[in-house]
Structure 1
Amino acid sequence: MLLRCLLALAGGLVLAGAFEPVGHAWLMPPAIAALVFSVRGLAPRRAWLPSLLFGITFIYAVMVWMRAVGTDAWLAMCALEAAFFVPLGLGLTWSLRLRAWPVWAALWWVGIETWRSGFPFSGMPFGRLVYATADTPWADALPWIGMTGVSFLVALTGTTLAWLLLQVRTPTRTTYAAVGGLAVVTLAPALLSFPVTQTGTATVAAVQGDVPGTGLDVPAVHREVTANHVRLTRELAQAVDAGERPRPDFVLWPENSTAVDPFLDPGVHEGIIAATDAIDVPVIIGGMSNDPLDEGQVLNQGIVYQPGLGSGDRYTKRHPVPYGEYIPFRGSLIPSTYGKLRMVPRDMVRGTGLEPLRVGDLRVADAICFDVAYDEGISGQVARGAELVAVQTSNAMFSRTDQLAQQFEISRLRAQETGRWVVVAAINGISGVVRPDGTVVASVPARGQQVLVEEVGLSTTITPAVRLGVWPARLTLAFLVCHSAFVLVTYRRRRRGGRLVEQTDGAR
């Protein structure tokens, strides 16, 4: 058992190496194979331990950036996320008893991944296998089968590798057929790329204004942050008037480019209006608006400002961060005045809309910060006619960590999934413009202060992944429920059958 536990611990660390900052995606299959070998042959009542150890090393390593919030937050959150590997261990042992077990084991991985990515309090999707696939053949399958499908493909590669290692001494025709089939499924999308029809172009400006001082605390210097974005936008307007830069069709500011309600703060409101009128095109700002229905709540919004008209369409962040942007069960479980929770005096309300923003003549899908890691928001807006994707983010707290790189990789993968250009505006890094094939046209590093002006393509083509939406994820959850129910029913029948035999033998 000790060797199994050591193998699991090592496998979790190896899997973390597939993600930024190491970023070696080829480590994923051997890491998953290590997990399979660590639980193979164990009874379910014992398999949970190596699986949990695998999850502990993986989760704590891949999300070490959460220490920027606080060591206590990192320990608590990662403990919760690692706990999901306990049912994964059970599911793997059940799967290994079936024919074609690599398929069922891969489904268990993706099902648990989906579960922890949505529960509790919207879950934590960072660490999904698909999020380490940028610049790999796996990513070429994104427009066809979506995020959940690609995670399954990666997991299947790992479980199949474990199966091959068991077959290496006595390979059969089935062995060769399985390897060939997996290779075809993995490499075919690179040869049969999904055709995306470009319907036009637009010029977009993304403003990264930076955060003065340490760069970590936006609320403490929020007026300076807003002033930076106002100044850079007005400087862009001057360069446009001088013929030095092309006039954009709209300007994108990041999340928290104003950390107060722009409709109630006269100084902030005047700055935004001045910048919008100067550039004479719509500006999508990132603002914190008071909830009109409850003064004790706040909305994190992307707000379209039209020159000469003021505010227009709004997008409200769909996935506020628990204990960072709102406190679940405020006052009933943990006092809201405890420790850093004092920094969250009001709860952020969850957005529900999926209509793209109308920005002049364009329709733009918006995502705010962690929204980009969830499947339904961007795909839902693209399915409703969005021609390109905008990501507004404020990663200031994580500006000295690798969270920036991990999140930017997710934005790149969203471009491939949706067949859309993606424009990222970060408050102090990483901003960038991404083609539908995932390549980066231009970017601004962390703590840079710059305006990107790039021509992007527009499209209304709907990829199969967007049409599938969240159904692949739902099906994996349904698989977990059905397989668990099947195992439990079978187990009860066997116990009843055993008791019946004992009673019959006793009667004789």
Structure 2
Amino acid sequence: MTATTRAASARAGSRRARDEFDPTPWPIALVCAVAGGAAALLAFPPYGMWMLLPVSLALLGAGLLVRSVWVSILVSLAWGAAFFVPLTAWANTYAGTLPWVALGVFEALYVVVFGLLARTVMLRRGLCLSSAVVVSALWVGIETLRSHAPWGGLPWGSSAFALADSSLLNLGPWIGVAGLAFVVALLGQMLLHGALSLLGRRHRGLVGFAGVWPLALAVAAILATVVAPSPPNTAPGDRGTMTVAGVQGSMEKIDPATLAMPDDVFENHLAVTRDTVQQSQDEGKQLDLIVWPEDSTGYDPRQDPWMADQISSASTEAGAPILIGTQVAVGESERLNQSVLYAPDGSTPYAYSKRHPVPFGEFVPMRDFFRSITDKVDLISRDMIAGDEVGVMDMEELDQGHHRVGVLICFEIAYDNLVGDVVRNGAEVVVVQSNNALFGDSHEAIQQVAEAKVMAVVSGRSVVHVSTVGHSAIFTPEGRQLDFVDHWDQGAVLADVPLRTGITPAIAAGPWIAVGLSALGLVGFLAALSSRRRALSPLPRHRGRS
């Protein structure tokens, strides 16, 4: 061997000593991307295989470990599209194919941003504990950004909402939605590190069978959450219960061409209400509150004396107020989505206006621009405007006990900041009014009721989720289901709902868990940029070259 060859070998050996892993071949990377996106989809309802979510993130991480940054972009986009396009298939019901696919691809772009950031960290810092923490924190940052921007964001598909039936949800009251996303991402990183070691793709640190350790730790961490305690200040106190009935009147399917509510929606809810009142009286129960869903009256009953009289009459029979959902016109081109409380005496002492209208579902930002792309924007003839008051009803004013009820409408249950607002403003129980009829037979309804369960546990409050056509359910602060009505069934959820006043650490922290973890990810990324180290193995050399 010549001196030149020996020197070259020494340099190669030196580089090899610092290398962490071999790159993923680009065809395998693309397979990992599509398989990872599909696994993420299966983690969410109705499939409910939550344990696949860390696996999906591990596959995304493996796909990002390629030499070409352009391939990593394609990998991220493929993972995001394979997840978000089928997850948001409910948008096709009323918006059509092009807007639905555009929504899925737009959400996938957030995964592209994450992929670029995470790849930089893993390639510059290597596969170590610090890089795993930084990558997991970056996942939290991207989920937080996606949930709040632009136009208020869309948290649909956030990691926490796959955990409704997972023991990991026991951590929810402590660390919130952002903390759960961090845990899931960290488990994914542990699976990635372990799998690469077992497959012989790593050359220092955990190599070979040592890769069993991160896999075992991931499993042990999940098992440990089975016995995770509840925060001490959210234990049952002296607040007792509140008897609540949620009415699911059902209706004919909505015409996607007009989005008009069927004529039978009001009569159906009125009939089910009277049946439920009779049932409660037969069981010797005194109702404290009856909840109708969003859009359950078709139009504002305060403008129709007959409709208002029917609601007041049902309220008198029940001896309890009825919270209905309706739309209120504002001027010629705007509207409010309101919850209105009807008392037995016919008065309406409380109204809540939805604070977070959904972009493209309830209002169209930049309407002229998007009209040039699709005329579907004109299906929303009146833009919904946001209310400005947190929805908390004081039932003492109606002589219904010293109870405070938080009110949210439809997708608002998916926003942890809105849930936190009603709890911090004194709500002892939360009711959610929804109209899932807009999404037909899609999986939107079951995904939303899973979000209600997750938020019940995170907030430490019972959640009464009521829909026009389902799913409707009542969950305790521990996530236990008290009653349930299936999709398109007619009936009511009825239970003595536990009340709470304690504040969970997640709610007390407000946005700071998400802000802190996001900042950690950003700082870790900037630190990785300052490193000259590269973790990929060197390119193979041609045999005949000295």
Q: Which has the higher contact order (CA 8 A, sep 6+)?
A: 2
Pair 455,103 (structure 1): closer, same or farther in 2 beyond 3 Å: same
1:325 matched to 2:366? The reply is no
Whether the 8 Å contact between 1:167 and 1:175 is mirrored in structure 2 is yes
Percentage of pairs with the same residue:
32
Instruction: Find the residue that maps to 1:259 and give its secondary structure.
Output: coil
Matched with 1:348 is 384
Matched with 2:316 is 277
Which of residues 115, 133, 139 in structure 1 aligns to 2:163? Answer: 133
1:458 matched to 2:488? The reply is no
CA radius of gyration, larger in:
2
Pair 91,336 (structure 1): closer, same or farther in 2 beyond 3 Å: closer
Which of residues 440, 446, 449 in structure 2 aligns to 1:399? Answer: 440
- In 2, the alpha carbon distance for the partners of 1:64 and 1:240 equals 39
Matched with 2:243 is 203
Pair 482,267 (structure 1): closer, same or farther in 2 beyond 3 Å: farther
- In 2, the alpha carbon distance for the partners of 1:255 and 1:447 equals 15
Residue 259 of structure 1 and its aligned partner are, at CA, apart by: 2.9
Whether the 8 Å contact between 1:366 and 1:391 is mirrored in structure 2 is yes
1:117 matched to 2:147? The reply is yes
**Counterpart AA for 2:113:** P
- In 1, the alpha carbon distance for the partners of 2:372 and 2:472 equals 34
Q: Deviations over 1:17-76 (max 9, x none)?
A: 111222111111221111111111435454222111111111112222222121122111
Matched with 1:300 is 337
| Equivalenced residues, count | 488
Which of residues 112, 126, 131 in structure 2 aligns to 1:86? Answer: 112
- In 1, the alpha carbon distance for the partners of 2:33 and 2:276 equals 53
- In 2, the alpha carbon distance for the partners of 1:416 and 1:129 equals 15
Matched with 2:51 is 26
Matched with 1:504 is none
Pair 176,461 (structure 1): closer, same or farther in 2 beyond 3 Å: farther
**Counterpart AA for 1:387:** E
TM-score when scaled to structure 1?
0.88
Which of residues 325, 340, 347 in structure 2 aligns to 1:310? Answer: 347
Residue 482 of structure 1 and its aligned partner are, at CA, apart by: 4.2
Matched with 1:247 is 286
Residue 334 of structure 1 and its aligned partner are, at CA, apart by: 3.0
Structure 1 runs not aligned, ≥5 long: 495-508
Structure 2 runs not aligned, ≥5 long: 1-25, 534-546
Matched with 2:101 is 75
Instruction: Find the residue that maps to 1:17 and give its secondary structure.
Output: helix
Matched with 1:8 is 33
Q: Deviations over 1:473-499 (max 9, x none)?
A: 2234434554555566x49x99xxxxx
Residue 258 of structure 1 and its aligned partner are, at CA, apart by: 1.9
Map 1:459-474 → 2, pairs under 5 A: 459-474=500-515
Whether the 8 Å contact between 1:399 and 1:446 is mirrored in structure 2 is no
Residue 309 of structure 1 and its aligned partner are, at CA, apart by: 4.9
Pair 298,32 (structure 1): closer, same or farther in 2 beyond 3 Å: same
Pair 51,214 (structure 1): closer, same or farther in 2 beyond 3 Å: closer
Matched with 2:11 is none
Instruction: Find the residue that maps to 2:157 and give its secondary structure.
Output: coil
Instruction: Find the residue that maps to 1:84 and give its secondary structure.
Output: helix
Which of residues 250, 253, 261 in structure 1 aligns to 2:300? Answer: 261
Pair 225,337 (structure 1): closer, same or farther in 2 beyond 3 Å: farther
Matched with 2:184 is 154
Whether the 8 Å contact between 1:111 and 1:479 is mirrored in structure 2 is no
- In 1, the alpha carbon distance for the partners of 2:236 and 2:54 equals 34
Matched with 2:276 is 236
Residue 139 of structure 1 and its aligned partner are, at CA, apart by: 0.8
Whether the 8 Å contact between 2:171 and 2:228 is mirrored in structure 1 is no
- In 1, the alpha carbon distance for the partners of 2:506 and 2:210 equals 30
Matched with 1:408 is 449
Pair 337,127 (structure 1): closer, same or farther in 2 beyond 3 Å: closer
Residue 389 of structure 1 and its aligned partner are, at CA, apart by: 1.3
Residue 357 of structure 1 and its aligned partner are, at CA, apart by: 1.8
Instruction: Find the residue that maps to 1:6 and give its secondary structure.
Output: helix
Pair 30,308 (structure 1): closer, same or farther in 2 beyond 3 Å: same
Pair 306,44 (structure 1): closer, same or farther in 2 beyond 3 Å: same
Pair 216,139 (structure 1): closer, same or farther in 2 beyond 3 Å: farther
Instruction: Find the residue that maps to 1:233 and give its secondary structure.
Output: helix
**Counterpart AA for 1:225:** V
Q: Deviations over 1:442-489 (max 9, x none)?
A: 11111111122211111101111111122222234434554555566x
- In 2, the alpha carbon distance for the partners of 1:354 and 1:468 equals 18
Pair 326,427 (structure 1): closer, same or farther in 2 beyond 3 Å: same
Residue 185 of structure 1 and its aligned partner are, at CA, apart by: 5.2
